[in-house]
Amino acid sequence: MAKREDIYTTVTNRIVAELEAGSVPWVQPWTGSAGTAAIGLPQNATTGRSYSGINILLLWGAIAAEHYPRQAWLTFKQALELGGHVRKGERGTTVVYASRFIPKGEQAQAQETGEEPRGVPFLKTYTVFNIAQCDGLPEKLQHDGPPADTDVILPEVEDLICATGADFRVGGDRAFYAVGPDYVQVPPPQAYYESLDWHRTALHELTHWSGSPRRLARDQTGSFGSVRYAHEELVAEMGAAFTCSVLGIQPTVRHSDYIASWLSVIREDPRAIFRAASAASKAADYLLDFRSAGPVEADTAAAA
């Protein structure tokens, strides 16, 4: 347990240090130029699966610090299995793995009582390397995917909003999600200095929408200034950033007042950033799944 707590504390301290320095780890601090990786979620180079939760922040931070040209990662063993190897002297990036195991005593008791065995949560770390730190890997891993087409970024966001079936209203002078009546409202695009900011804001509020009791059922009962409110804002910021990255849009961040509230939450509880990042990944996945499902009616989405 002490080791697990150390992992939470170590990662949390790293996130706190970045926020205190004015760097927001879920806003990709690069543009995809000057040889640095294109916008997107980090992926495992062998399985193609995207990393999620806190691991997105850890790997984005490594790309920003080392200017790696790819979002592809693998373990030392996976590099060998692909016929390559990690170059001597390269330092890996620590990521975490969370799961549950069922102790033998719990299994035996469950067999006697007929009840479901209770799993014990565990957290462990392992090390991954960017493919830029490796030699001898297959040629196909050395090439980027097709670049984001900026001409379709805005329509993609609008199509996603439409596909969710959310009650999405454009107007007024502030952006918000109304929990009770279950609708999103965002000012018109011309109210923003940059048109992309409208879409970033829309995805932030749509992430709030995903947390409704009718959907992912996050706790949205917190009043402004409370810990619960700050936690939900943290989820919405990261969820919007993760969704933006999949759609090829550079995420941005809210003003410094929000950073102060996030810091207060994270400092109080070393596990808070883990929970928020996990919830943000689930929210982003939930929204992005609508792209394959196609458009739905608003009342259908509300019941989902």
Distance CA 213, CA 180 (A): 10
Q: What is the mean pLDDT of residues 169-175?
A: 85
**Residue 298, pLDDT score:** 39
Task: Tell me what the mean pLDDT of segment 207-236 comes to.
Answer: 92
Helix H or strand E encompassing 151: helix 150-164
Q: How confident is the model at residue 140 (pLDDT cuts 50, 70, 90)?
A: confident
Give pLDDT, residue 33.
Answer: 47
Q: Which of 114-118, 216-220, 240-244 has the lowest mean pLDDT?
A: 114-118
pLDDT for residue 158: 84
**pLDDT the model gives residue 130:** 95
- The pLDDT of residue 10 is above 50: yes
> Which residues share a beta bridge with 127?
94
What confidence score (pLDDT) does residue 112 get? 67
Whether 198 has a pLDDT exceeding 80, the answer reads: yes
Digit-coded pLDDT (tens) for 66-89: 888 889 999 999 999 999 999 999
- Mean predicted confidence (pLDDT) in 199-215: 94
User: In Å, how far are 51, 59, 74, 137, 175 from 44, measured between CA atoms?
Assistant: 7, 11, 6, 14, 36
Which among 72, 69, 74 has a CA at the least distance from the CA of 84?
74
Q: pLDDT value at position 156?
A: 84
Instruction: List the strands of the sheet with 168-170, edge to edge.
Output: 168-170, 183-186, 176-178
Instruction: Return the pLDDT at 263.
Output: 82
Higher pLDDT pick, 49 / 254: 49
Lowest mean pLDDT among 43-47, 197-201, 208-212, 277-281: 197-201
Residue 51 in contact with residue 95, Cβ under 8 Å?
yes
- What is the pLDDT confidence band of residue 6, given thresholds at 50, 70 and 90? confident
